[in-house]
């Protein structure tokens, strides 16, 4: 933990590994191992939680205990008191810790800690939200061991450096998977993508585009071809894009300092996003060698996530995080005696929070609270 971690070459290598894992998912386990070493953790995972289904999914993980992971998925995910506040309070790209949402003393008293975390030596976790929908969120998570103590500011800072790259890599991984792609068939594969994709050289000239890219250029609403250059109609975005692409020859860190997601406006006023992936190392260089490209640019229409129903409940009724935890525990688990040990607080404290929830929501019975939450969760709710 005392190892120097701010070596630019080490950071550059790790960022490159993150993007390579987007192209070859088989590299995610090694990438998570390096991430844990860099951030300061004992285990790591790419995972998601579905609040509506009260479930969890582990896509890739490193150094976790398979039996404990299985028990978390089957039982403890629904008992995790940090999930609801994390869903409500964090945005995509944001870095947070478990103890941001549940005080340490309260956490040690929970069933999750006593039966699942403590036996593994886990005391905290730091995560960055990669994606978020109305009912779920995905995150890259690094677990912290008791011997290292709760997540400190240094660990948060390191995770913030990696956060945008994890997010973009996971996004790109949904668009293109090069694991089964041979370089000779690369152009045919790109032509099959729904997203408009352009391979650019350091001057911003188009050396290859797929069918969707050709259609986008022909339409001219978002971007056009000026000579050989890709030119977004948004002049500010045009300048920024080509500055980023020019930096791609210097490697991943150089691009990252300028940002890899660029907002731009179309002629009709619609909002679009340009995702820039440097092609300057490893598997990405192999994939683009035929074209001498330094960057791949994906142009996608911006779509705004719907607000989470629980966020609406907390906002409308001005519920605190503790009150929200009690409200959701009432809905998911049952009465006061059942949820007190799960949340790690006394029945008296649960009753106090519950009384506040009743007062703020204008309800009188637990059954009314269940109906209230169901109404917000369901699109058919009245």
Q: What pLDDT is attached to residue 36? A: 97
Q: What pLDDT is attached to residue 251? A: 60
Give the span between the Cα atoms of 53 and 67, in whole angstroms. Answer: 21
- Of 367, 313, 114, the closest CA to residue 325 belongs to 313
Q: What pLDDT is attached to residue 289? A: 43
Question: What pLDDT digit, counting tens, does each position of 280-310 carry?
Answer: 655 555 554 444 678 888 888 765 444 556 7
Question: What pLDDT digit, counting tens, does each position of 200-218 carry?
Answer: 888 899 988 888 899 999 9
Strand residue runs (E) in 133-257: 136-145, 196-200, 206-209, 223-226, 229-232
Pair 348, 116: CB distance under 8 Å: no
Question: What pLDDT digit, counting tens, does each position of 149-163 carry?
Answer: 999 999 999 999 999
Q: What pLDDT is attached to residue 372? A: 82
- Could you tell me the domains of the chain? 8-175 (3.30.450.40), 183-295 (3.30.450), 309-377 (1.10.10.10)
Strand residue runs (E) in 249-349: 261-265, 271-278, 295-301
* Mean pLDDT confidence for 59-82: 94
* Mean pLDDT confidence for 356-364: 93
Pair 199, 209: CB distance under 8 Å: yes
Is 70 exceeded by the pLDDT of residue 252? no
Pair 360, 317: CB distance under 8 Å: yes
- Of 284, 222, 218, the closest CA to residue 255 belongs to 284
Is 90 exceeded by the pLDDT of residue 250? no
Q: What pLDDT is attached to residue 3? A: 45
Total-model pTM:
0.62
Mean pLDDT of all residues in the chain? Answer: 83
More confident call, 117 vs 92? 117
- Cα(first)–Cα(last) distance of the chain, in Å? 53
More confident call, 175 vs 279? 279
């Amino acid at each position: 933990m005392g190892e120097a971690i701010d070596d630019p070459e080490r950071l550059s290598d790790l960022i490159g590994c993150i993007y390579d894992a987007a192209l070859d998912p088989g590299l995610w386990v090694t990438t998570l191992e390096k991430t844990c070493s860099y951030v300061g953790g004992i285990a790591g995972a790419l995972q998601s939680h579905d609040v509506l289904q009260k479930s969890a999914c582990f896509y890739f993980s490193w150094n976790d205990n398979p039996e404990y992971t299985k028990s978390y998925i089957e039982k403890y995910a629904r008992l995790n008191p940090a999930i609801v506040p994390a869903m409500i309070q964090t945005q995509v790209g944001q870095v947070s810790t478990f103890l941001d949402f549940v005080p340490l003393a309260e956490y040690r008293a929970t069933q999750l800690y006593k039966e699942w975390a403590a036996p593994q030596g886990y005391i905290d976790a730091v995560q960055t939200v990669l994606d978020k929908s109305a009912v779920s969120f995905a995150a890259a998570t690094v677990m912290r061991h008791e011997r290292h103590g709760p997540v400190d500011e240094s660990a948060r800072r390191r995770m913030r450096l990696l956060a945008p790259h994890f997010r973009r890599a996971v996004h790109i991984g949904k668009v293109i998977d090069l694991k089964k792609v041979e370089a000779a068939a690369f152009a045919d594969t790109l032509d099959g993508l729904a997203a408009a994709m352009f391979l650019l050289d350091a001057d911003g000239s188009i050396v290859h585009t797929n069918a969707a890219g050709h259609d986008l250029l022909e339409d001219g609403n978002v971007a056009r071809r000026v000579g050989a250059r890709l030119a977004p109609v948004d002049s500010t975005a045009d300048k920024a894009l080509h500055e980023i692409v020019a930096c791609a020859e210097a490697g991943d860190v150089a691009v990252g300092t300028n940002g890899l997601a660029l907002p731009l406006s179309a002629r009709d006023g619609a909002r679009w996003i340009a995702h820039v992936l440097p092609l300057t190392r490893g598997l990405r260089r192999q994939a683009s060698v035929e074209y001498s490209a330094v960057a791949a640019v994906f142009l996608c229409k911006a779509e705004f996530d719907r607000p989470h129903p629980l966020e609406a409940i907390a906002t409308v009724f001005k519920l605190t995080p503790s009150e929200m935890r009690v409200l959701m525990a009432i809905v998911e688990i049952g009465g006061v005696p059942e949820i007190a040990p799960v949340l790690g607080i006394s029945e008296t404290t649960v009753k106090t929070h519950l009384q506040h929830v009743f007062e703020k929501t204008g309800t009188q019975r637990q059954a009314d609270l269940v109906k209230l939450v169901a109404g917000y969760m369901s699109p058919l709710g009245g």
